[in-house]
Structure 1
Amino acid sequence: MLMKNFITVATFTYPHEYIVLKSVLTEEEVPFFFENETIVSVSPFYSFALGGIKLKVHKAYVDFVKEIINDLNQPNSHLKLV
Structure 2
Amino acid sequence: MKHFVTVATFTYPHEYIVLKSILADENVPFIFENETIISVSPFYSFALGGIKLKVHKAYADFVREIIKDLNEPDSHLKLV
TM-score by structure 2 length?
0.99
Q: Which runs of 5+ in 1 are unaligned?
A: none
Give the partner amino acid of 1:59: K
Aligned to 1:13: 11
Deviation at 1:9, TM superposition (A): 0.2
Aligned to 2:68: 70
What is the alpha-carbon root mean square deviation over aligned residues?
A: 0.3
Give the partner amino acid of 1:18: Y
Give the partner amino acid of 1:73: N
Deviation at 1:74, TM superposition (A): 0.2
Percent sequence identity over aligned pairs: 84
Q: Distance in 1 between matches of 2:73 and 2:20?
A: 20
Match of 2:69, SS state, is helix
Deviation at 1:52, TM superposition (A): 0.2
Give the number of equivalent residue pairs: 80
Q: Which runs of 5+ in 2 are unaligned?
A: none
